[in-house]
Structure 1
Amino acid sequence: MELTLTGIIVALIVGLVIGALGRLVVPGKQNIPLWLTLVVGVVAALLGTVLARALGVADTRGFDWIELFFQVVLAAIGVALVAGTRGRRHLTR
């Protein structure tokens, strides 16, 4: 697998979109910075793709809605976990 500048930029854009969708799914205000949303989104996008491939639903005709669903759900879980741990950390200081 060749790592190119274009591939990195696409991964960051996809991560930002997936992270933003994850934030939209989680109710309430999440007090996490944009860069952390990006990190959660990239990780969720990668894990969602791995999960979809493991379940055999990654190769479909057209757009992979099931894979996107996995990615957004994982991003929502990640955003909720990160926002929860960051919120607790700020309250104890």
Structure 2
Amino acid sequence: MLGLIVVGLIIGALARLIKPGKQRMSILVTLILGVVGALIGGFIASLFGTGDIFELNILGFILAVVAAVLLVGVAEGLGGRNRGAVR
């Protein structure tokens, strides 16, 4: 469980670095998006037969980062839409 949190934080931070622009997200949101991205990437990698969903492998890591970048984009879009409605 602790390993998933650490990997999720790393993946979330990498996703925010890769995604252009400034994201206004807390470290907790970054962690959650990273963990979800890690689970999605691990699941997709396991469908390709690279191992279990919780195993650390290069394909799962790459897919996790890609999934987290997409999730950061979605979260950024949802957050921007809510901020615009408040004005």
What is the 5 A alignment of 1:43-54?
A: 43-54=36-47
1:14 corresponds to which residue?
7
> With structure 1 as the length reference, what TM-score do the two structures score?
0.82
- Say if 1:27 and 1:58 are closer, same or farther in 2 by CA, change over 3 A: farther
Q: Which amino acid aligns with 1:35?
A: L
Deviations 1:25-68 (A, max 9, x none): 11101111110110010011011001001012347xxx722211
- 2:30 paired residue number: 37
- Report if aligned partners of 1:15, 1:42 keep a CA contact under 8 Å in 2: yes
Structure 1: gaps (5+ residues): 1-7
TM-score by length of 2: 0.87
| 3-state SS of paired residue (1:30) | coil
Gaps of 5+ in 2: none
Identity over aligned pairs, percent: 37
Higher alpha-carbon Rg: 1
